[in-house]
Structure 1
Amino acid sequence: MRYETIQELMDKAREAEGKTFGEIDTTGRIKNVRSKGALGHVIEESHFGYPINSDARPDFEELGIELKVTPFKKNKNGTYSSKERLVLNMIDYHNEHEYSFETSSFLSKATSMLIMLYQYEPNIPIDDYRIYKAFLNEFSEEDLDVMRQDWETIVAKIKRGEAHLISEADTMYLSACTKGANGSVVRSQPFSEQPAKPRAFSLKSSYMSGLVRQYLTPELMESIASHGELKEMSLEQLLEERLSPHYGKTLLDLCEETGIPYNPGNKAMIPRVMAKLLGVRKTDLSSIEEFAKANIKFKTIAREPDGNLREHMSFGKVDFEALSREAWEESDLYDTFAEQKYLFLIFRYDEKYVSKQKRIPRFEGIRLWNMPLETIDGEVKSMWLETQAVVRAGVQLTPMKRGVKNNLPGAKFNRVAHVRSKAADGQDKVRLPDGQWITKQSFWLDKSYIRQILDA
């Protein structure tokens, strides 16, 4: 069927709202669907009436509109988020660097997209998944400014012969995700003999979550960038411009300046202070649009007068059951570092630590950071694989005078990442796959590695 106008297409798309895939299907295809990606075929064939094809041109070529059918999920706190990133098109390493952003394969594919959202529910048959919303997405100028920087970051790595070092965490909204079920498949790149994993342009799941909430439960998100600012500078430069006037002030000074009560025991205090300094009315960093869409997480770092850190940095609890059966690239830890950026809020003490001494740190600066791919697939992967091997063989638990010793990879393993306890007390335990009980453990980055990042 041919659609002559956008209005005609959207009227047809909205007819699917409220219907299940089983109700939409007219060919019986749904009975053979084994993957969520194939649900788009049901919509193409049964609802819009055009044959399935792998043509690179837009699905509705006469209107220049691409169709995307993508899932969302309802979180435990009642909010909605995207179930996954939105994959667009494969990156041709040999050609992409010859384009401009305006003529890029990404923009030619994604300028106008008809997005149809369905709810993912783990415990119901796939044909009972229901379409909730259909809308036409056209990027705002502000989002395109960020995506232009993202595209340039990806292409710059290709031009440097570093396509094999591309990571999703390199960018903000637009990413280059790995593509292909077989992790051993590689492709050539034009400026290096080193083969690279095949990758596709995609919109990050965090960016897609912003779209989901915008259309299902509109939330007021606050932008810290005024019109056109992100065209002139990067987000990190903008943050630096806004926050650098406050460098050198004590945390107590910043609390008094922003009207936030000074309470060192309140973990939310520093993010609330920073939100105020950035002009966010809700005093909540997570309500900043640019941070939410780019999947930026916050970590507060306190440095000693000599620059050292007293503590390692934790990055999520160890799920021993999942770890024992997962592959590395399917693990939560891989996703943590391969997809996320971190905004380090850096403070420094004036005085050396003395037990029970109450010290007030000074705000030293910020650092927007993501882990390099060679570290992810190097030291972090080796630590994770060693943890998996120990868990599969059975963790050795040895009672000591103070607590219980284990043979999981500790702080001396590779000086980058390790596993250690993060529990309320000695009775705060989880069960291992072999039935033993162990105090709750977390993955940590070594404090010496964090210092290297800050000093670089």
Structure 2
Amino acid sequence: MAKGNHSFSERDIHSRFGAIVGRTVAEVDTAGVLAASSASRNKGRIGAIIEQSVLGYPADSDRRPDILIDGQPWEVKATGLVEGARGGWRAKEPMSITAVAPEGIVAESFSTSAFWHKAERLLVVYYLYVRPGRGVTVEYAGFEFKGYDLHTWHEVDRFRLEADWTVVREFVRTALEGDVDTEMPNLSTLINPQLLYLDTSPKWPNRPRFRLKASLVTQMARERLDDDMGMIPDQGWLSSMGSLRAHLHGISDSCAGKTLEDLAAQFDLPIKTKSGRENKSLAEQVVVRLFTGHAGKISQVPLFAKAGLVFKTMTLTPTGGRTEDMKLNPSIDFDELCDPSVEFEDSAFAAPFIDSTMVVAVLEERYRDCPLRQCRFMGFKTLWLGTYLDAARALWDGMRDLIFSDSLIDAPVLKKDGTPRVTPKTGIPMTAPNWPKSRDGVLFVRGTGTDANDKPVEVNGVRMYRQNVWVKGKELAERLDVTPCI
């Protein structure tokens, strides 16, 4: 139960938090929190400033929800947003809610659980996190408050949270019946792939916590702060990873063996662009129509956006071999990579390997090098990239080592005979940073751009294309080969 001056009216909350939007952390800090030693470099200070300067009560670590609003308990959360490489922004990291307490959760129902007691009503305060760059200490004082949200959950989102929480509870119940120290480390490796909205971190024997995925927090912020989301209506009956897989199975059953051209004809989708070129987005457009019944992009499908589901196509040759490596989006955030205060587990770099399930539409060439529209749709498979978490951490560490040791260089790209390669369009000799290449491991870094002059990224004085993490196509094809269609 919140005490004393922890009780507010909704009108009072809107007045207090409306007044800080557009102002910096230092401007809001009337209680002088930042005056404490090194306080402006501690992200926990933003929460303390909200408590002491906006809400007007002392710092509080009680396990109960933070405040009462019109008699209802609310948890107060401050979360950072970062700008993306191509504009827009996303949540800086997942949102920690409460501990996964093995001895307690097994006796709980969702509606009375410690998790739901904290997460049911969230007063979320968003601030714009500006990465300081290499070697510069983060100073929270200049960060701007972007908005706030009295967040309650739509029914479909509550059902998805409950489904995730129940999966975790049942796993813990089984673990307690056996050897806890042997079973509990599997919570992150076996259970996270089964969750839509939640993950658990850190890994046992450290006490894990329930976290809202960064993808979910991003969508929460966008729904509150953006005027035009352009999202397709959500499919409320897809309330768990199990129901998602069942839906994909139904699509596969009815459509497997048909060409993309056949499927496109059902929805009057163009197989060529207005300029007469092949529609490279045809597979995505077909899948969105099959999955939702609406036209649009995968990024407009609410479940994919909130759950951080990654959609990819994999085209197999008639003999089953790979046709291409797979690029992971978004492009690498070098402000994040160059920020020594960012932990790997909280990074956007790590997110695909912690939070994301990949939904793969498997296509098969009818004959060698056939056009995309003539490829057969064979069904869906799901892959969890957590298999490559250690490889991703090694890649992160390797790239950071190049940056922080001043070993990053712009190296000439050579042909097999050792002579320089030249960009056909411009005649400029090709160069590329010495990031890990495909020969170095299953994960590697590669840049993409329109021509040799399109190098908008600069790290340590080295100009480069936008860079992405890629997965070797051969590796994925081998995994897909042993993974049955849903």
Confirm whether residue 86 of structure 1 aligns to residue 95 of structure 2: yes
Cα 1:307–1:332 shift into 2, 3 Å: same
Alignment of 1:280-291 (within 5 A): 280-291=293-304
Please report the TM-score for the alignment, with normalisation by the length of structure 2: 0.74
Q: Determine the structure 2 residue equivalent to 1:40.
A: 47
Post-superposition shift, 1:296?
A: 1.8
SS in 1 for 2:232: coil
1:10 paired residue among 7, 10, 13: 13
User: Partner letter of residue 31 of structure 2?
Assistant: T
Checking the alignment, whether the CA contact within 8 Å between 2:127 and 2:144 is kept in structure 1 is yes
User: Partner letter of residue 223 of structure 2?
Assistant: Q
Post-superposition shift, 1:39?
A: 0.9
Indicate the larger mover: 271-280 or 440-449.
440-449
Post-superposition shift, 1:110?
A: 0.9
SS in 1 for 2:361: strand
Cα distance in 2 for residues equivalent to 1:364 and 1:431: 38
Q: Determine the structure 2 residue equivalent to 1:29.
A: 33
Cα distance in 2 for residues equivalent to 1:318 and 1:128: 25
SS in 1 for 2:270: coil
Cα 1:220–1:127 shift into 2, 3 Å: same
SS in 2 for 1:452: helix
SS in 2 for 1:196: coil
Cα distance in 2 for residues equivalent to 1:177 and 1:252: 44
Q: Determine the structure 2 residue equivalent to 1:166.
A: 188
User: Partner letter of residue 355 of structure 2?
Assistant: E
Cα distance in 2 for residues equivalent to 1:417 and 1:210: 28
Cα 1:449–1:154 shift into 2, 3 Å: farther
Checking the alignment, whether the CA contact within 8 Å between 2:197 and 2:213 is kept in structure 1 is yes
Q: Determine the structure 1 residue equivalent to 2:389.
A: 376
Q: Determine the structure 2 residue equivalent to 1:190.
A: none
Cα distance in 1 for residues equivalent to 2:398 and 2:80: 34
Cα distance in 2 for residues equivalent to 1:435 and 1:93: 50
Confirm whether residue 142 of structure 1 aligns to residue 138 of structure 2: no
Confirm whether residue 246 of structure 1 aligns to residue 255 of structure 2: yes
Unaligned runs of 5+ in 2: 133-137, 176-182, 422-431
Alignment of 1:93-112 (within 5 A): 93-112=102-121
Q: Determine the structure 2 residue equivalent to 1:258.
A: 267
Cα 1:311–1:129 shift into 2, 3 Å: closer
User: Partner letter of residue 106 of structure 1?
Assistant: F
Cα distance in 2 for residues equivalent to 1:431 and 1:115: 32
2:306 paired residue among 280, 285, 293: 293
Cα distance in 2 for residues equivalent to 1:45 and 1:348: 60
Indicate the larger mover: 436-445 or 211-220.
436-445
* Number of matched pairs: 435
Cα distance in 2 for residues equivalent to 1:71 and 1:278: 32
Indicate the larger mover: 336-345 or 405-414.
405-414
List per-residue Cα deviations over 1:31-66 (Å, max 9, x = no partner): 333223321211211222222121101112563211
Cα 1:42–1:371 shift into 2, 3 Å: same
Cα distance in 1 for residues equivalent to 2:295 and 2:436: 41
Q: Determine the structure 2 residue equivalent to 1:445.
A: 471
Q: Determine the structure 1 residue equivalent to 2:283.
A: 270
User: Partner letter of residue 477 of structure 2?
Assistant: R
Q: Determine the structure 2 residue equivalent to 1:312.
A: 325
SS in 2 for 1:95: helix
Indicate the larger mover: 239-248 or 431-440.
431-440
Confirm whether residue 347 of structure 1 aligns to residue 357 of structure 2: no
Tell me how large the CA RMSD over aligned residues is: 4.0
Cα distance in 2 for residues equivalent to 1:76 and 1:438: 13
1:365 paired residue among 372, 379, 385: 379
List per-residue Cα deviations over 1:89-117 (Å, max 9, x = no partner): 23234433443333332111111122223
User: Partner letter of residue 70 of structure 1?
Assistant: T
User: Partner letter of residue 51 of structure 2?
Assistant: E
Cα distance in 1 for residues equivalent to 2:397 and 2:82: 30
Post-superposition shift, 1:29?
A: 0.9
Cα 1:20–1:278 shift into 2, 3 Å: same
Unaligned runs of 5+ in 1: 179-185, 187-194
Checking the alignment, whether the CA contact within 8 Å between 1:70 and 1:117 is kept in structure 2 is yes
Cα distance in 2 for residues equivalent to 1:439 and 1:47: 43
Cα 1:313–1:64 shift into 2, 3 Å: same
Q: Determine the structure 1 residue equivalent to 2:178.
A: none
Cα distance in 2 for residues equivalent to 1:436 and 1:23: 37
Q: Determine the structure 1 residue equivalent to 2:200.
A: 176
Cα 1:266–1:156 shift into 2, 3 Å: farther
List per-residue Cα deviations over 1:4-43 (Å, max 9, x = no partner): 5643553454453435433433321133332233212112
Checking the alignment, whether the CA contact within 8 Å between 1:344 and 1:367 is kept in structure 2 is yes
Alignment of 1:392-407 (within 5 A): 399=414, 400-401=416-417
List per-residue Cα deviations over 1:360-412 (Å, max 9, x = no partner): 21001112332235x412x4444665666688667787854266699976556
List per-residue Cα deviations over 1:419-455 (Å, max 9, x = no partner): 5676767898899979889998754323332133322
2:213 paired residue among 188, 192, 204: 204
Cα distance in 2 for residues equivalent to 1:304 and 1:141: 44
Confirm whether residue 57 of structure 1 aligns to residue 83 of structure 2: no
Checking the alignment, whether the CA contact within 8 Å between 1:67 and 1:115 is kept in structure 2 is yes
Cα distance in 2 for residues equivalent to 1:424 and 1:208: 33
Indicate the larger mover: 92-101 or 251-260.
92-101
Indicate the larger mover: 104-113 or 258-267.
258-267
Checking the alignment, whether the CA contact within 8 Å between 1:5 and 1:63 is kept in structure 2 is no
Please report the TM-score for the alignment, with normalisation by the length of structure 1: 0.78
User: Partner letter of residue 36 of structure 1?
Assistant: K
Cα distance in 2 for residues equivalent to 1:432 and 1:133: 31
